[in-house]
Amino acid sequence: CSYSRIIIVLKNRIYVYSFPNNPVKLFEFDTRDNPKGLCDLCPSLEKQLLVFPGHKCGSLQLVDLSNTKPGTSSAPFTINAHQSEIACVALNQPGSVAASASRKGTLIRLFDTTTRDKLVELRRGTDPATLYCINFSHDSSFLCASSDKGTVHIFALKDTKLNRRSALARVGKVGPVIGQYVDSQWSLASFTVPAECACICAFGKNTSKNVNSVIGERNRAGGDVSFLLD
């Protein structure tokens, strides 16, 4: 939901309605099987970008609602993001970057929504996991991700030197398979949460303490966990 649109996601279809006064259906999109209702809508008033799983396995489809007339169809704007099914997707506040992860759950890839170029590849881990959530900080400086491994990972996006790298990165040229592992960036920090319940992570602001971002998590018992980024 945004200030002027509300999105309804079904298994194979997405509806876009005007909001909040006297909602009217504006758009309707057919999708690949999407049982989790994956989609994200850019909150920016200037760019009403909608992203959801594309028809091709592992792809993302983007639609700029501000440049699409209601009742008309437009050419799909597709990004081939992964080889397996999409499991998680998110847009930053300006709608300039899309982040996604597949059901394998080892990598998070970021793409420029205008050029469709891959910007960076972030590695959550080496073993498969189910990602629950991906979120950008308000200024797109950081990204957080939670999974069924009971961890929340934080990645730096503006100053990527803060992210950890594999020790093999200092070796030099390696084979194509190992090279993909070496080129990935690992989280700069992480913290644990109860693994038995799904965790939703997000960023907030705490100006009174001059803290750039705060990550919060609410578990089944109603408790909060926070992580401060100075």
The CA distance from 20 to 4, in Å, is 7
3-state secondary structure of 228: strand
pLDDT digits 0-9 by tens, 146-200: 999 989 999 999 999 999 986 655 445 555 544 455 667 999 999 888 877 788 8
pLDDT for residue 76? 67
Q: Return the structure tokens found at 20.
A: 């909040």
Are the C-beta atoms of 216 and 205 separated by less than 8 Å? no
Write the CB contacts of 204 (distance below 8 Å, at least 6 apart in sequence). 213, 214, 215, 216
Write the CB contacts of 138 (distance below 8 Å, at least 6 apart in sequence). 93, 203, 205, 213
- DSSP label at residue 182: H
Answer whether the bond into residue 43 is a cis peptide, omega within 30°. Answer: no
The CA distance from 189 to 113, in Å, is 27
Are the C-beta atoms of 129 and 149 separated by less than 8 Å? yes
Using 50, 70 and 90 to split pLDDT, how confident is the model at 71? Answer: low
Question: If you average pLDDT over residues 46-63, what whole number do you get?
Answer: 93
Distances in whole angstroms, Cα of residue 145 to Cα of each of 108, 137, 142: 9, 11, 10
pLDDT for residue 165? 86
pTM above 0.75, yes or no: yes
pLDDT for residue 9? 97
Distance of CA 218 to the CA centre of its chain: 19
pLDDT for residue 212? 47
Are the C-beta atoms of 226 and 207 separated by less than 8 Å? no
Question: If you average pLDDT over residues 104-123, what whole number do you get?
Answer: 96
- Domains by residue range for the chain, with CATH: 5-229 (2.130.10.10)
